[in-house]
Amino acid sequence: MYQFVQAPFLYSDLEEGKFQSILLAEKQLIVLKKKEQLFAFAATCPHAGAHFCDAWIDASDRLVCPLHKYRFDLSNGRNTSGEGYKLKIYPIKIEENTIFIGIW
Ligand code: FES
């Protein structure tokens, strides 16, 4: 079961498409605003641990790991390029302008 923890920034502070790396409740995460939607996911790749600070979003809105180019669906963490890894995704809720991320 997860517990929502307040993020150290506001929704309005986030820039569209910018990978925001944070340490929250001892978890290293990336928060990304994409098309006005927020995503929070593990900061390192489940394959070989590359940091996602240099990752990017492809034309199909998938996260692309910078090391071996595996691709992940940010809505569910599924490894859409087929290698069988799962990206850890954290639930997010926004109240007014404040962001809460579900940590477990
Ligand atoms: S470390 Fe990310 S695809 Fe290999």
Secondary structure E strands in 1-104: 3-10, 19-24, 27-34, 37-42, 56-57, 62-64, 71-73, 89-90, 92-95, 98-103
User: 81 CA distance to ligand 1 centroid (A)?
Assistant: 11
Confidence (pLDDT) at 89: 98
Q: Report the b/e string of 48-63 with b at 16+ CB within 10 A.
A: eebbbeebebeeeebb
Boundaries of every domain in the chain: 3-103
Could you tell me the pTM of the whole model?
A: 0.95
- Coil, strand, or helix at residue 102? strand
- In tens, the pLDDT along 27-53 reads 999 999 999 899 999 999 999 999 999
Q: What fold characterizes domain 3-103?
A: Rieske Iron-sulfur Protein (2.102.10)
Q: Does the CB atom of residue 67 touch ligand 1 within 6 A?
A: yes
- In tens, the pLDDT along 2-16 reads 999 999 999 999 999
Q: Does the CB atom of residue 65 touch ligand 1 within 6 A?
A: yes
